[in-house]
Structure 1
Amino acid sequence: MTTAQWSLTEHLLSSSPDEYKAATQAPFLLAAAEGRLPKDVLGKWLANDRLYIHAYIRAAGQMLATIDLPQIVPAAEASETQLVDWLIEALAAVRREERLFIDVASRYGIDVDLNPQKVEDKSTERGVVSAKDKGLGLVLIEDLFRSLHTSSKMAASSPLSLPWLEGAVMFWGTERCYLDAWSWAKSQQSFPGSQSDREDADGGAMRREFIPNWSSYEFARFVGKLGSIIDHAASQMIEKSGQQAKEEFVKRVEGKWKSLLAAEAAFWPALD
């Protein structure tokens, strides 16, 4: 009989059920599912989500710069190689996502800018958004993404020497929360895909455009691929390092996971 492989991702998903529910079943999501989000509320949230994409791109670039790929062809494809492939796919996906935001916002008459302050940048002007105009969830996630470089340096000196793993967990965690949140929203729709969405407060942008995209099979496959990379690499690392090292590693990752869930919960705007 074979022993089932321990799953780091499944462990994390079950480790903080109340926090995970807060991150994936917010009143904002229910309002989106029921077509009750006014365009100004939706626009402000989309503007924050668009800036989240920018933070994601910067963090992915930093992670790519720190991954050591095998210099000799391995017998089986290395986890690092699979992670690089996933990050490249992710970068292409979030750029498509940003273009989707702008396209849908234009078609539905939704403003997706956060009070930009224009500053002089050499010979050109570019819009910037001050921290006070950003949502708390965006600020927290930007901080978490910025901390990935420091985390990878600390992990490199630990007994469990996979410096990219904690960063990969953060990318997987934010994607998994997003998938589960919008899949939950889809399950709350009274008339998914019906003509009733034309009378929605946002004109149907959420129920016709965004919710189907963020709860799709393709997105679930994309998220699941990174989860498999993480679980395989974590199991191999722990098998080599022993139970004590596993406990120290899991405790550290659980702390990061809870910080991420708090940021994800704060990302959903409070509704009047």
Structure 2
Amino acid sequence: MAPKKLTEHLLAHSPDAFTSATRHPWLRLAGTSQLPTDSLLAWLTQDRLYIFSYIPFMGNMLSKTSIPTTSSRIKCLEWRVADCFINALTNVRRELGMFEDILREHFDWKEGGETATKETRAYQDMFAGAGAPSQSILVGMTALWATEKCYLEAWKYALGFKEEVPEEKKSHVLHTTLIPNWTCDEFEEFVICIGDLLDELADDIPEGSREWVKCEEVWQQVLWAEENFWPKVSNP
């Protein structure tokens, strides 16, 4: 029997925690347009702060890559990993602008005054640890895949309630911009690409090895951070 891929192993490792992280009551309210405005604002401002730890994390990961200079580099794992990190930075730069546009247009947002909650700081700490010089590209790629996989599945869960959205609420920014951003084909393909690269990087890593266990720890850390990152709401 072929060895289990790391992504498959992680998804099977903590199924209940993964469900809690990606099927939070906040997401159901978002998907059905019942989310209180202050709860959406709280999430937007914290996700914006989250981005400012994601960017240096990706910079740290890029600094660890050895980029081939030959014209055939496109086929090399090293180049594909670096290209993935570059794409992640490009995506998050666009999302930062998207968040700030939404905040200004829909919430009369004035920049300044926001501080990271303990839940956001948990993500900041996770990125700092996974991107530290002592950590491998494999560990960092695990952190990247874990965060993006959770977001993909979380927003797909929210999208699943689209039939319950009243007609007059379909023009809300949740349904025109936010939910489509993380459920579109392009984002799903990006997450699949990260997962494929992660499995390729882990191909020679024995299950139960120190590196393998570290990836499990990062996965658990992300699941805890993700579940708690969604603002608390009353169960719908």
1:41 maps to 39
1:120 maps to none
Q: How does 1:144-155 map to 2 (within 5 A)?
A: 144-150=126-132, 152-153=133-134, 155=135
Of 136, 157, 182 in structure 1, the residue corresponding to residue 118 of structure 2 is: 136
1:195 maps to 167
The code of the aligned residue for 1:166 comes to V
The more displaced of 208-217 and 73-82 is 73-82
Return the offset for 1:38: 2.2
Return the offset for 1:259: 1.0
| Greater C-alpha radius of gyration | 1
Name the SS for the 1:111 alignment partner.
coil
Q: Aligned pairs, how many?
A: 233
Return the offset for 1:110: 5.4
Two-structure CA RMSD over aligned residues (Å): 2.3
Structure-2 separation of matches of 1:75 and 1:43? 43
Would the aligned equivalents of 1:28 and 1:268 in 2 still touch at CA under 8 Å?
Answer: yes
Structure-1 separation of matches of 2:63 and 2:110? 31
CA-to-aligned-CA distance 1:181-240 (integer Å, 9 cap, x gap): 000110123345x63315xxxx712122211221111100011111111111211x23xx
- Whether 1:28 aligns to 2:1 is no
1:62 maps to 60
1:82 maps to 80
Instruction: Go from structure 1 to structure 2 and tell me whether the alpha carbon gap of 1:217 and 1:112 turns closer, same or farther (over 3 Å shift).
Output: farther
Would the aligned equivalents of 1:44 and 1:111 in 2 still touch at CA under 8 Å?
Answer: no
1:119 maps to none
Structure-2 separation of matches of 1:214 and 1:75? 30
Scaled by the length of structure 2, what TM-score is found?
0.89
CA-to-aligned-CA distance 1:37-65 (integer Å, 9 cap, x gap): 22222111101001111111010111111
Structure-1 separation of matches of 2:176 and 2:18? 26
Name the SS for the 2:208 alignment partner.
helix
CA-to-aligned-CA distance 1:70-93 (integer Å, 9 cap, x gap): 467779822221111011111111
Instruction: Go from structure 1 to structure 2 and tell me whether the alpha carbon gap of 1:75 and 1:45 turns closer, same or farther (over 3 Å shift).
Output: closer
Instruction: Go from structure 1 to structure 2 and tell me whether the alpha carbon gap of 1:76 and 1:51 turns closer, same or farther (over 3 Å shift).
Output: closer
Would the aligned equivalents of 1:69 and 1:81 in 2 still touch at CA under 8 Å?
Answer: yes
2:225 maps to 263
Scaled by the length of structure 1, what TM-score is found?
0.78
Would the aligned equivalents of 1:33 and 1:186 in 2 still touch at CA under 8 Å?
Answer: yes
Of 216, 219, 229 in structure 2, the residue corresponding to residue 254 of structure 1 is: 216
Name the SS for the 2:220 alignment partner.
helix
Name the SS for the 1:36 alignment partner.
coil
- Whether 1:222 aligns to 2:222 is no
